[in-house]
């Protein structure tokens, strides 16, 4: 019953547009791309804040505790240009008295509104499915991970920071300038506490053979002799320290493979110990006393403490802060000294701080945690000062014991500033701190998550920045693409120009470790570490505690677990231990986390410092690879590996090349897919392995500038500018990524039949000809949606605020066809430039005015939203305008292979070349010659039997086409055969957002600058384009004097000045106003032009008045000089050369 | 040159004729004629298409311009078009294009009353003239909670102005190929070689006669001038084994119509339009004058 079927289709109307895809959309792969943002924020609100508050130094008698509450105002935020925030309440505990018996009074203090990340645990959309999301007028695929502040969506940029708790040896010339006697070599460790705050500790090598420990307190670096710190940490005899330091040296292994100690070591150890003795410090107590005395002035709130207590605080808060046991600190310091000396003696090479091996990433939640901690600390200190002042004053009856009085005092230091400062940080991306938070960056921490198109939006969350401080660097070493980043950082997806190599993108499979495991349960790191330790001991490790380690490589390897020396493992047992750990990583029953990084640095001749470095910490890069040595039981043989361990692993790639691997090093792991090295955007280029390599980079940039479906709910959005393609298609040629990340939900282009030929000359130099008839039928039609937000309560001039309201002007009836009775435009109304689209009324001055459309393009009112909440009058509105943009000459298009071109002509159907078969029926035909930019990739192996050309060629031949995809075409103009074979076929074409309508700039006459009388600049203001020095040079070189004069004088600030030839001044001449003669006017004749009467004010005469043509700026120069008491005189003469 | 007549008498042979499809041979004329006919069919045969839309209510998800544009692209039966006036030349309505001589009025009313998506198609379009109705079935748009109420005016136009007035979906022609197989030379080839020659053509032009085992031309017109066979023969070291020429004066036309005008009518209308255009050139007394004006350029254009 075909009729019935049709009728049903008419009612249900649900045509499946993507029959190959599952009905229920799976957004999980997509959401996984954003998970690191959300996990880090979840951690912040669940544990991080608590940890941070625990770590805040209690001031006087204050100890806080957290609780967060939230309000649900999400959609409203985008529309009303406000922020999505929740209330940030902190329990501040007041505790009186010193002893544990003192009463604790909890008091909730509101620390202001705290921004909430979308889709985090505080967000009410956290567990919403796509139907609920749509009902909330959100994207069905909404991934979250950003904040909404003032209606703008902002993302915290991921930042590359040094890997936490790993001592890095490096040489920097800046180290030399620290003090006299310093060398450029040091071992640096960035220690991160549980609350994510970091302290970097430097261990410098001195040219005298000793070392200094350096750390920063409030930006100033303090240096301590290493011996002093070692002695202060634990009670150890000089002999014990000496033995520990030289433990890595064993004359048995002198110059053997993997030996890192040398004979000089004992000399250096003596120097280190002598340094302490020279300060006449012999015991631990003396050392602590010495440190305490030195640091007392730097430590806040410790003025009344004993020296040793201060020293304890210094060791706790600045020396290796990730460890809380002094024995651990001691062992790690010894290890660092050994690594430093090995680096000096060239028994090991320095680590590369620019490589991903020694880097991790700073996550949004962690950044906010440390920022909040800093702000709370500041607030507490301020409060303390306030309370002290109050108690000192005592003039009012301020009772310290009474809570009410204390609270009153607290009001003077508004706690809400804390929430506000976090919001401001996210809004501006600027960190306002006194301490640096151990970060090099101060600005640019957040960026707006533009929704220009879906790919651009996604890329914001996958981008990792190296830090803007490196952008100005002259050296290019930081920008290099290093092999260490293989599989983690996309080699293709980085912008051209200044951020090249600094702004990178993670590969599609790359993840960031978090505090949550794959089930979303918070990790218990102490438990994890314990089980790893027991596994290691079982594998033959000698634990470090309580005994001090007395050996080193090549006999045994140090084992570091999250920056703690946990022991040493005999070299012959380490490989077995490593593979055992790797097996346990995959086992679901073991407590070993799946993302444990097993950084086994084997012994080598002068290679990297050997050891077994284990990391369980969050914010590391990880990526999945397939383990080969495990029998595939339980199907799970996917191991997550990090960039540190990757370097020492044998991973083969499924592309068959095997990378020239020798048989001695069989592959233990295998890449899951060859495209795993590419980012999401890079993965969308089909057959990118057949492109010239930079084309792929260009495409990654252009994909992010393409017009497409930026949002499914475009009618619910109030973005300042949105691009929209009317009839997009999914590409014929697709990669698997299109389905995995549901790119078809936000398509980015149209399939067009493209012929590559030279036809008509309008296609030279990356230009292309579009078929006008296709454009008539809707090819690449686009829209620009622009939302104007008007809020009279927030005007620039303070006194004007809240005075104006939207109101129609009833006396001006001619505007009524544009403006509705509420003063706002009709929806669907077309407005031409200069026509009014809303009118306002100032209630104070009773002045009515109309806002008129600017620009040169008509617009259509798409949508109007008003804010009537808690206001009597209409003062806040969003007007969304829609501008149709069909393709015109000058608009930019590109294929998916970095081949961009500008439309140079719209040719009618009949003029386009046609093929005899009629396959080219003119729907979407572009003639695009790629002129110089198409180059065949060189070095394609000849013997490759199943090359892509043959594979596709046979498919073409089977369907009656030419093997190479060429066809015979006929000229549309003459009907004759074009005597060459023309490559023709469907190509997915993207329309880029760069359109002439937004860019063209023309001017004949117009506004001039008030001071210089030269034409103004700026497209918006109708200004001109500067005819600059280089343009001038070119005209001079051509001898085009007349044109030069025309450009620089006649068409610019041509001016005829009156000059007094007697005194030579142009400033003293003045025009004398004659009295008007009314006689002629009475006769009805126009007044005859009278000669201008000009006199010189200084010479008091009209004699010697001359007129000279000159640029007006010359007069301005004379005036400026006169203001500086410099007189300019001109000598006039007739004729040239005189 | 003077007085020499180049008059020829082209012949047309119709091969296939359907409502929306025609295939015919055009012989004894040259490419300029054939191409002129093609161009006229695509761009200058008038049809009727919606040109002006007044939207009263539109609460669908598609915006007004989108709907108007799509309405314009609906092919309307345009048998009347040849006799209709262009609204710009219409005396009856002073060129405002709303009278019966130059326009047809349509109404579209659609409302979705349940919570399902309603498909609005050309069937919802009501014409004021039963001779001008939408061709078959085509989408205008679909919307959820849709409410549309619009008045549309259809006018006569040509494809040159906008593709919506083009009556042709595809009009192409090919030069009739002339294929000579050198039988004598072919005899020297083995069967294998013969097969490779046959198979070198991506389209099925040649075949091997199962009885005589000779290479024969099976379908001349399947040849796409791809030169594959010639290249193959050349590579075999037997140039001249197969020779292919394009006949300069025979064309095979394929015409597909949108349905606005029947394919056969489209060809006839095109010839009519072409005639009118030629008449316009002939009648214009200015042409000679203009030629004089252009002087040398004119002479050059005349082929001198």
Shortest CA distance from B254: residue in chain A: A918
Domains of chain B, each with CATH number or no CATH: 11-44+247-304 (3.30.1360.10), 47-166 (2.170.120.12), 183-240 (3.30.70)
The predicted model gives B159-182 an average pLDDT of 88
- Asked if residues A1077 and A1087 have their Cβ atoms less than 8 Å apart, the reply is yes
Backbone angles phi, psi at A971, to 5 degrees: -65, 130
User: Which residues from chain A sit within 8 angstroms of residue B140, using beta carbons?
Assistant: none
User: Which residues from chain A sit within 8 angstroms of residue B114, using beta carbons?
Assistant: 11
Helix, strand or coil, per DSSP, at residue B141: strand
Helix, strand or coil, per DSSP, at residue A1110: strand
Q: Does residue A967 belong to the interface with chain B, where contact is any CB pair within 8 Å?
A: yes
Shortest CA distance from A962: residue in chain B: B202
- Asked if residues A466 and A473 have their Cβ atoms less than 8 Å apart, the reply is no
The pLDDT score that the predictor gives to residue A805 is 83
The pLDDT score that the predictor gives to residue A769 is 87
Using the beta-carbon criterion (under 8 Å), do A918 and B254 form an inter-chain contact?
Answer: yes
Residue A943 reports pLDDT greater than 70: no
- Looking at chain A from residue 328 to 387, which residues have their Cβ under 8 Å from any Cβ of chain B? none
- Asked if residues A815 and A885 have their Cβ atoms less than 8 Å apart, the reply is no
For the CA atoms of chain A, what is the radius of gyration? 37
The pLDDT score that the predictor gives to residue A707 is 92
Dist. CA A951–CA A938, nearest whole Å: 19
Residue with tokens 């004097």: A1041
Mean pLDDT rounded to a whole number for chain A: 81
- Looking at chain A from residue 41 to 60, which residues have their Cβ under 8 Å from any Cβ of chain B? none
Exposed, middle or buried by CB within 10 Å (0-12, 13-18, 19+), for A317?
middle
**Confidence band, pLDDT 50/70/90 cuts, at residue A69:** very low
Dist. CA A1065–CA A850, nearest whole Å: 48
Name the residue among A969, A727, A999 with its Cα closest to residue A856.
Answer: A999
Q: Which residue has the higher pLDDT, A200 or A420?
A: A200
Residue B277: CB atoms within 10 Å = 13
Write the CB contacts of A312 (distance below 8 Å, at least 6 apart in sequence).
A288
For the CA atoms of chain B, what is the radius of gyration? 27
Q: Which residue has the higher pLDDT, A1104 or B137?
A: A1104
The predicted model gives B101-107 an average pLDDT of 85
Residue A6 reports pLDDT greater than 60: no
Bridge partners (DSSP) listed for residue A1070? A1095
User: Which residues from chain A sit within 8 angstroms of residue B113, using beta carbons?
Assistant: none
Q: Cα dist. A1027→A1011, A1021, A1042, B111 in Å?
A: 19, 17, 15, 59
Question: DSSP readout, A482-523?
Answer: -GGGTTTB-SS---SSTTTTTEEEB-TT-EE--SB-TTSPBP
Using the beta-carbon criterion (under 8 Å), do A12 and B116 form an inter-chain contact?
Answer: yes
Write the CB contacts of A633 (distance below 8 Å, at least 6 apart in sequence).
none
Exposed, middle or buried by CB within 10 Å (0-12, 13-18, 19+), for A43?
buried
Lowest mean pLDDT segment, chosen from A458-467, B63-72, B130-139, B196-205: B130-139
* Most confident stretch, A29-33, A382-386, A551-555: A29-33
Q: Does residue A921 belong to the interface with chain B, where contact is any CB pair within 8 Å?
A: yes
Residue A1074 reports pLDDT greater than 60: yes
Mean pLDDT rounded to a whole number for chain B: 82
Q: Does residue A960 belong to the interface with chain B, where contact is any CB pair within 8 Å?
A: yes
Using the beta-carbon criterion (under 8 Å), do B119 and A14 form an inter-chain contact?
Answer: no
Name the residue among A618, A586, A424, A443 with its Cα closest to residue A522.
Answer: A618
Token pair in block for residue A47: 């544990």
Q: ipTM of the assembly?
A: 0.87
- Asked if residues A652 and A669 have their Cβ atoms less than 8 Å apart, the reply is yes
- Among B34, B63, B69, the residue with its CB nearest the CB of A975 is B34
User: Which residues from chain A sit within 8 angstroms of residue B36, using beta carbons?
Assistant: 975
The pLDDT score that the predictor gives to residue A34 is 84
The pLDDT score that the predictor gives to residue A697 is 92
Length of chain A: 1138
Dist. CA A449–CA A458, nearest whole Å: 9
Write the CB contacts of A233 (distance below 8 Å, at least 6 apart in sequence).
A315, A319, A326, A327, A329, A330, A333
User: Which residues from chain B sit within 8 angstroms of residue A772, using beta carbons?
Assistant: 163
- Among A772, A917, A963, the residue with its CB nearest the CB of B224 is A917
- Asked if residues B73 and B47 have their Cβ atoms less than 8 Å apart, the reply is no
**Nearest CA-CA distance, residue B32 and chain A, Å:** 6
Residue from B40, B56, B171, B172 to probe the interface with A (highest A Cβ count within 10 Å): B172
The pLDDT score that the predictor gives to residue A909 is 85
The share of chain A scoring above pLDDT 70, in percent, equals 83
Shortest CA distance from A963: residue in chain B: B202
Dist. CA A429–CA A446, nearest whole Å: 4
User: Which residues from chain B sit within 8 angstroms of residue A862, using beta carbons?
Assistant: 63
Residue A927 reports pLDDT greater than 50: no
Name the residue among A627, A614, A539 with its Cα closest to residue A577.
Answer: A539
**Confidence band, pLDDT 50/70/90 cuts, at residue A1030:** very high
The share of chain B scoring above pLDDT 90, in percent, equals 14
Lowest mean pLDDT segment, chosen from A19-28, A321-330, A925-934: A925-934
CA A63 to chain centroid, in Å, comes to: 36
User: Which residues from chain B sit within 8 angstroms of residue A921, using beta carbons?
Assistant: 169-170, 256
Output A396-404 pairs: Cβ under 8 A, ≥24 positions apart.
Answer: A401/A96, A403/A94, A403/A105, A403/A107
- Asked if residues B37 and B251 have their Cβ atoms less than 8 Å apart, the reply is no
Q: Cα dist. A72→A86, A421, A989 in Å?
A: 8, 21, 42
User: Which residues from chain A sit within 8 angstroms of residue B206, using beta carbons?
Assistant: none
- Among A914, A918, A975, the residue with its CB nearest the CB of B32 is A975
Helix, strand or coil, per DSSP, at residue A716: helix
**Confidence band, pLDDT 50/70/90 cuts, at residue A248:** confident
Helix, strand or coil, per DSSP, at residue A1135: coil
Residue A925 reports pLDDT greater than 90: no
The pLDDT score that the predictor gives to residue B23 is 92
Dist. CA A557–CA A601, nearest whole Å: 9
**Confidence band, pLDDT 50/70/90 cuts, at residue A1119:** very high
Token pair in block for residue A268: 């250096």
Dist. CA A912–CA B105, nearest whole Å: 34
Tell me which H or E stretch contains A223.
Answer: strand A220-225
**Nearest CA-CA distance, residue A160 and chain B, Å:** 44
User: Which residues from chain B sit within 8 angstroms of residue A956, using beta carbons?
Assistant: 202
Dist. CA A506–CA A514, nearest whole Å: 16
Write the CB contacts of A696 (distance below 8 Å, at least 6 apart in sequence).
A492, A682, A685, A688, A897, A898
- Among A10, A828, A920, the residue with its CB nearest the CB of B119 is A10
User: Which residues from chain B sit within 8 angstroms of residue A918, using beta carbons?
Assistant: 170, 172, 254, 256
Residue A505 reports pLDDT greater than 90: yes
* Most confident stretch, A337-341, A955-959, B110-114: A337-341
Q: Which residue has the higher pLDDT, A1111 or A413?
A: A1111
Shortest CA distance from A981: residue in chain B: B226
User: Which residues from chain A sit within 8 angstroms of residue B69, using beta carbons?
Assistant: 778, 781
Write the CB contacts of A497 (distance below 8 Å, at least 6 apart in sequence).
none
The pLDDT score that the predictor gives to residue A89 is 52
User: Which residues from chain B sit within 8 angstroms of residue A916, using beta carbons?
Assistant: 172-175, 224-225
**Nearest CA-CA distance, residue B213 and chain A, Å:** 24
What's the pLDDT tens digit per position in B8-18? 888 999 999 99
The pLDDT score that the predictor gives to residue A784 is 93
Name the residue among A217, A250, A246, A245 with its Cα closest to residue A230.
Answer: A245
The pLDDT score that the predictor gives to residue B139 is 54
- Among B38, B159, B169, the residue with its CB nearest the CB of A921 is B169
Name the residue among A602, A565, A168, A158 with its Cα closest to residue A357.
Answer: A168
Using the beta-carbon criterion (under 8 Å), do B118 and A13 form an inter-chain contact?
Answer: yes
Name the residue among A154, A32, A133 with its Cα closest to residue A84.
Answer: A154
- The listed CATH number (1.10.390.10, 3.40.30.10, 3.90.1070.20, 3.30.590.10) that belongs to domain A511-672: 3.90.1070.20
- Asked if residues B153 and B105 have their Cβ atoms less than 8 Å apart, the reply is yes
Dist. CA B167–CA B265, nearest whole Å: 10
What's the pLDDT tens digit per position in A792-840? 877 777 777 777 888 888 888 888 888 888 888 998 889 999 898 888 8
The pLDDT score that the predictor gives to residue A615 is 93
Shortest CA distance from B139: residue in chain A: A10
- Among B32, B66, B163, the residue with its CB nearest the CB of A909 is B163
Residue A900 reports pLDDT greater than 60: yes
The pLDDT score that the predictor gives to residue A254 is 72
The pLDDT score that the predictor gives to residue A941 is 35
What's the pLDDT tens digit per position in B145-155? 466 677 888 88
For residue A1092, give the DSSP letter: P
Exposed, middle or buried by CB within 10 Å (0-12, 13-18, 19+), for A17?
exposed
The pLDDT score that the predictor gives to residue A2 is 37
Q: Does residue A956 belong to the interface with chain B, where contact is any CB pair within 8 Å?
A: yes
The predicted model gives A982-1003 an average pLDDT of 88
The predicted model gives A39-64 an average pLDDT of 62
For residue A853, give the DSSP letter: -
Residue A324 reports pLDDT greater than 90: no
Question: DSSP readout, A65-120?
Answer: EEEEEE---HHHHHHHT---EEEEEEEEEEE-SSSTTS-EEEEEEEEEEEE--TTS
Name the residue among A62, A113, A66, A51 with its Cα closest to residue A86.
Answer: A113
The predicted model gives A311-340 an average pLDDT of 89
Q: Show me where the domains of chain A are located.
A: 28-151+363-443, 511-672, 750-771+892-934+951-1000, 782-885
- Looking at chain A from residue 680 to 739, which residues have their Cβ under 8 Å from any Cβ of chain B? 715, 726
pTM of the model: 0.85
The pLDDT score that the predictor gives to residue A427 is 87
- The listed CATH number (3.40.190.290, 3.90.76.10, 2.40.50.150, 3.40.190.10) that belongs to domain A782-885: 2.40.50.150
Fold held by A750-771+892-934+951-1000:
2.40.270
Using the beta-carbon criterion (under 8 Å), do A962 and B226 form an inter-chain contact?
Answer: yes
């Amino acid at each position: 019953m075909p009729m019935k079927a049709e009728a049903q289709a008419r009612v249900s109307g649900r045509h499946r547009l993507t029959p190959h895809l599952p009905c229920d959309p799976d957004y999980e792969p997509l959401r996984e791309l954003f998970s690191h943002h959300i996990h880090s924020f979840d951690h912040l609100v669940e544990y991080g804040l608590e940890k941070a508050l625990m770590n805040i130094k209690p001031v006087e008698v204050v100890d806080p505790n957290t609780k967060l509450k939230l309000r649900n105002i999400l959609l409203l935020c985008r529309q009303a240009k406000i922020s999505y925030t929740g209330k940030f309440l902190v329990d501040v505990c007041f505790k009186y008295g010193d002893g544990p018996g003192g009463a604790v009074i909890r008091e909730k203090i509101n620390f202001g509104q705290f921004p909430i990340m979308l889709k985090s645990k505080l967000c009410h959309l956290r567990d919403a499915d796509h139907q609920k999301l749509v009902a909330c007028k959100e994207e069905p695929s909404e991934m979250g991970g950003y904040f909404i502040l003032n209606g703008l969506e902002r993302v915290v940029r991921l930042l590359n920071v040094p890997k936490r708790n790993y001592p890095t040896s490096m040489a920097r010339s800046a180290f030399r300038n620290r003090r006299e006697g310093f060398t450029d070599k040091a071992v640096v460790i960035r220690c991160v506490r549980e609350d994510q705050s970091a302290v970097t500790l430097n261990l410098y090598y001195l040219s005298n053979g000793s070392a200094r420990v350096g750390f920063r307190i409030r930006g100033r670096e303090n240096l301590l002799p290493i011996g002093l710190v070692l002695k202060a940490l634990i009670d150890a005899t000089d002999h014990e320290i000496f033995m520990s330091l030289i433990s890595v040296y064993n004359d048995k292994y002198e110059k053997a493979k993997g030996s890192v100690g040398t004979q000089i070591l004992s000399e250096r150890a003596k120097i280190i110990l002598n340094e302490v003795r020279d300060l006449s410090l012999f015991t631990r107590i003396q050392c602590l006393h010495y440190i305490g005395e030195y640091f007392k002035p730097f430590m806040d709130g410790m003025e009344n403490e004993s020296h040793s207590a201060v020293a304890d605080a210094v060791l706790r808060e600045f020396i290796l802060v990730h460890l809380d046991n002094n024995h651990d600190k001691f062992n790690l310091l010894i290890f660092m000294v050994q690594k430093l000396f090995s680096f000096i003696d060239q028994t090991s090479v320095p680590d590369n701080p620019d490589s991903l091996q020694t880097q991790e990433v700073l996550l949004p939640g962690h950044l906010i945690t440390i920022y909040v901690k800093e702000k709370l600390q500041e607030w507490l200190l301020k409060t303390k000062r306030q309370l002290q002042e109050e108690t000192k004053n005592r003039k009012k009856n301020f009772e310290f014991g009474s809570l009410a009085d204390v609270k009153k005092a607290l009001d003077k230091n508004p706690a809400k500033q804390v929430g506000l400062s976090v919001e401001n940080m996210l809004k501006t991306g600027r960190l306002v701190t006194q301490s640096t938070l151990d970060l090099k960056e101060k600005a640019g921490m957040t960026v707006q998550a533009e929704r220009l198109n879906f790919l651009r939006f996604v890329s914001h969350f996958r981008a990792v920045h190296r830090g803007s401080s490196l952008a100005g660097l002259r050296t290019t070493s930081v920008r290099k693409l290093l092999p260490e980043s293989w599989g983690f950082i996309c080699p293709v997806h980085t912008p051209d120009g200044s951020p090249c190599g600094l702004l990178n993108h993670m590969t599609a499979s790359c993840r960031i470790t978090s505090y949550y495991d794959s089930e979303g349960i918070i990790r218990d790191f102490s438990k994890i570490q314990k089980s790893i330790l027991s596994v290691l001991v079982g594998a033959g490790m000698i634990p470090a505690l309580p005994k001090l380690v007395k050996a080193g490589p090549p006999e045994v390897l140090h084992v570091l677990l999250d920056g703690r020396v946990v022991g040493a493992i005999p070299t012959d047992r380490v490989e077995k231990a490593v593979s055992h750990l790797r097996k346990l990583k995959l086992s679901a029953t073991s407590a070993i986390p799946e993302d444990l990084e097993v950084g086994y640095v084997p012994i080598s001749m002068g290679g990297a410092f050997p050891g077994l470095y284990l990391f369980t910490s969050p914010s590391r890069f990880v990526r999945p690879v397939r383990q080969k040595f495990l029998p595939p039981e339980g199907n799970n043989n996917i191991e997550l590996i990090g960039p540190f361990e990757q370097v020492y692993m044998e991973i083969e790639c499924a592309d068959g090349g095997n990378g020239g691997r020798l048989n001695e090093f069989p592959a233990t792991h295998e890449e899951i897919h060859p495209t795993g090295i590419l980012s999401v955007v890079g993965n969308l280029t089909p057959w990118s392995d057949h492109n010239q390599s930079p084309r792929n980079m260009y495409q990654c940039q252009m994909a992010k500038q393409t017009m497409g479906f930026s949002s499914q709910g475009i009618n619910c959005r109030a973005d300042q500018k949105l691009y929209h393609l009317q009839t997009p298609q999914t590409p014929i040629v697709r990669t698997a990524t299109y389905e995995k990340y549901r790119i078809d939900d936000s398509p980015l282009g149209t399939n067009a039949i493209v012929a590559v030929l030279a036809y008509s000359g309008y296609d030279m130099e990356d230009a292309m000809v579009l078929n006008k008839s296709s454009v008539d039928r809707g090819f690449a039609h686009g829209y620009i949606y622009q939302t104007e937000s008007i809020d009279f309560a927030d005007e620039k001039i303070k006194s004007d605020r809240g005075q104006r309201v939207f109101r129609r002007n009833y006396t001006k009836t001619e505007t009524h066809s544009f403006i509705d009775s509420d003063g706002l435009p009709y929806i669907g109304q077309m407005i031409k430039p200069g026509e009014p689209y809303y009118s306002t009324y100032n209630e104070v001055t009773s002045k009515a005015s109309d806002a008129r459309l600017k620009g040169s393009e008509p617009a259509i009112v798409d949508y109007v939203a008003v804010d009537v909440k808690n206001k009597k009058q209409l003062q806040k509105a969003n007007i969304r305008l829609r501008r149709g943009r069909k393709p015109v000459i000058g608009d930019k298009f590109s294929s998916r292979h970095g081949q961009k071109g500008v439309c140079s002509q719209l040719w009618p159907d009949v003029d386009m070349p046609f093929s005899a078969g009629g396959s080219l029926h003119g729907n979407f035909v572009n003639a695009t010659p790629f002129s110089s930019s198409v180059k065949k990739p060189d070095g394609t192996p000849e013997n490759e039997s199943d090359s892509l050309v043959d594979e596709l060629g046979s498919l073409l031949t089977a369907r009656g086409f030419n093997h190479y995809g060429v066809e015979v075409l006929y000229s549309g103009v003459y009907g004759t055969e074009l005597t060459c074979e023309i490559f023709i076929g469907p190509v997915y074409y993207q329309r880029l957002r760069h359109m002439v309508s937004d860019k063209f700039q023309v001017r004949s006459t117009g506004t001039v600058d008030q001071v210089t009388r030269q034409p103004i600049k700026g497209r918006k203001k109708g200004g001109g384009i500067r005819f600059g020095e280089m343009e001038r040079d070119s005209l001079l070189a051509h001898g085009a004097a007349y044109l030069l004069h025309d450009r620089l004088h006649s068409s610019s600030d041509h001016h005829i000045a009156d000059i007094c030839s007697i005194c030579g001044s142009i400033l003293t001449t003045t025009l004398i106003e004659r009295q008007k003669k009314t006689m002629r006017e009475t006769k009805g004749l126009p007044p005859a032009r009278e000669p201008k009467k000009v006199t010189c004010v200084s010479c008091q005469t009209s004699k010697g008045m001359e007129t000279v043509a000159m640029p007006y700026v010359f007069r301005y120069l004379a005036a400026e000089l006169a203001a500086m008491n410099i007189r300019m005189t001109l000598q006039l003469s007739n004729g040239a050369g005189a | 040159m003077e007085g020499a007549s180049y008059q020829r008498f082209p012949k047309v042979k119709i091969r296939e004729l359907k409502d929306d499809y025609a295939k015919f041979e055009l012989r004894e004329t040259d490419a300029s004629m054939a191409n002129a006919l093609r161009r006229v069919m695509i761009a200058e045969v008038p049809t009727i298409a919606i040109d002006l839309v007044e939207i009263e209510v539109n609460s669908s998800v598609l915006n007004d311009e989108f709907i108007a544009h799509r309405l314009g692209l609906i092919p309307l039966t345009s048998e009347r078009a040849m006799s209709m006036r262009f609204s710009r030349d219409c005396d009856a309505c002073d060129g405002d294009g709303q009278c019966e001589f130059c326009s047809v009025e349509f109404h579209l009313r659609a409302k979705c009353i349940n919570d399902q998506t309603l498909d609005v198609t050309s069937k919802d379009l009501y014409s004021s003239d039963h001779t001008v109705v939408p061709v078959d079935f085509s989408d205008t748009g679909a919307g959820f909670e849709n409410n549309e109420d619009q008045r549309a005016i259809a006018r006569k136009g040509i494809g040159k102005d906008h593709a919506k007035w083009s009556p042709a979906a595809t009009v192409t022609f090919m030069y009739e190929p002339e294929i000579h197989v050198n039988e004598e030379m072919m005899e020297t080839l083995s069967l294998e070689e013969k097969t490779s020659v046959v198979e070198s053509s991506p389209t099925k032009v040649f075949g091997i006669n199962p009885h005589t085992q000779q290479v024969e031309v099976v379908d001349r017109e399947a040849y796409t001038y791809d030169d594959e066979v010639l290249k193959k023969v050349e590579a075999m070291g037997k140039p001249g084994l197969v020779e292919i020429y394009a006949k300069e004066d025979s064309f095979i036309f394929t015409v597909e119509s949108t349905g606005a005008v029947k394919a056969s009518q489209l060809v006839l209308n095109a010839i009519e339009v072409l005639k009118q255009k030629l008449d316009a050139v002939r009648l214009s007394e200015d042409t000679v004058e203009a030629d004089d004006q252009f002087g040398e350029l004119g002479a050059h254009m005349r082929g001198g």
